[in-house]
Amino acid sequence: MDLTTTYLGLKLANPLVASASPLSYTVEGVRRLADAGVGAVVLYSLFEEEIDAEAERQARLAEAGAERFAESLTYFPDMPDADAAPRRYLRLVERARSAVDVPVIASLNGSTPGGWARYARQMQDAGAAALELNTYQLPADPAVSGRDVEERLVETVGLVAAAVEVPVAVKLNPHLSSPANMAVRLVDAGAAGLVLFNRFLQPDIDPERLGWTSGLGLSAPAEARLARTWIALVRRQVHADLAGTTGVEGPDDVVAYLLAGADVVMSTSALLRHGPEHAGVLLDGLSDWMAGRGFGRLDEVRGLLAVAPGADATAQGRASYVAAVRDANAGGYRRW
């Protein structure tokens, strides 16, 4: 069975990619994932807040003693390296790249253009095979329009893509006014791949404690429907690789993403629940499914259920919605 595929120009042994998670915080974790059989590993994300916090701390310490007597002006406090978090991350990139044979993809998580181009370049120089730009933001300021949010995203992607030679993937959130339009614009800005979708870790209210809970939870298969829908809709409309993520628990979830048109399928929750070795279960299940239906290569499966070239994706999406409502009514789910 030939499970080989390409993603971001990288040749992968199979389409299963371990996405950013605590499993990729260490070289040993990355090695476990590679030994389990994944085609590539996305390292945990370097967060904008980590960089900003350490830079601010250094600035505060640099000011310490500024108003002391002249004879103590030669005194300087011991200052931590403002780039400590990035340096740790770069060391992980270097060591992970040397420890495994699968591509290692670095991840940047931020919401503003800032210094991302600089850190992207450093990650490339440390040996990252590609970069994943994770733009997690909740635009809650009523003075910021949807157009402003999208323009900033396109600007950020353009800056990062221009700063590196390695391919850049963008992890999108599903709450865009027009995901298909944004997909095209991001590819035009330099994105070589799109990851659908980023999963918002929504907090919730605990009535007993009269407070908020973190809302951190692992994904469930039902959550994959939104991502698969959009992958099927944009597969023929963008010239970029597509990664499906969220809700990958069993082999059927992997198959469904491939049928929708995903080039690779990413998993975090299932590998955290069952351990990295669960990758073998997913890949064996994919091989069995393909063999049972006479498929010998992934190319024969990928995009079989994507919207056909030239078809009206908007009309097809509307038709699917109407059909679902009719099926629900026929099945006795009508509200009286």
Q: Measured between alpha carbons, how far is residue 196 from residues 32, 123, 174 in Å?
A: 25, 23, 8
Residue 63 pLDDT exceeds 60: no
Averaged pLDDT of the chain: 85
Q: Are strands 204-206 and 211-213 parallel, antiparallel or unpaired?
A: antiparallel
Tens-digit pLDDT profile for residues 215-242: 667 888 889 999 999 999 999 999 999 9
Distance of alpha carbon 306 from alpha carbon 234, whole angstroms = 8
Which of the pair, 134 or 253, is modelled with greater confidence?
253
The pLDDT of residue 70 is 45
Residue 163 pLDDT exceeds 50: yes
Residue 139 pLDDT exceeds 80: no
Residue 66 pLDDT exceeds 70: no
Residues with Cβ within 8 Å of residue 95, at least 6 apart in sequence: 27
Residue 6 pLDDT exceeds 80: yes
Q: What is the pTM of this model?
A: 0.86
Residue 90 pLDDT exceeds 60: yes
Residue 327 pLDDT exceeds 80: no
Sorting pLDDT into bands at 50, 70 and 90, what band is 52? low
Domain 5-305 in CATH 3.20.20.70? The answer is yes
Sorting pLDDT into bands at 50, 70 and 90, what band is 79? very low
Tens-digit pLDDT profile for residues 14-39: 999 999 999 999 999 999 999 999 99
**Domain residue limits, the chain:** 5-305, 312-336
End-to-end CA distance of the chain: 51
Over pLDDT 70: what percentage of the chain?
A: 79
Residue indicated by tokens 């070589």: 192
Distance of alpha carbon 106 from alpha carbon 132, whole angstroms = 6
- Reduced to 3 states, what is the DSSP secondary structure of residue 60? helix
Residue 115 pLDDT exceeds 80: no
The pLDDT of residue 113 is 65
The percent of the chain in helix, strand and coil, each rounded to the nearest 5, is 45, 15, 40
Residue 77 pLDDT exceeds 50: no
The pLDDT of residue 190 is 97
Which of the pair, 144 or 265, is modelled with greater confidence?
265
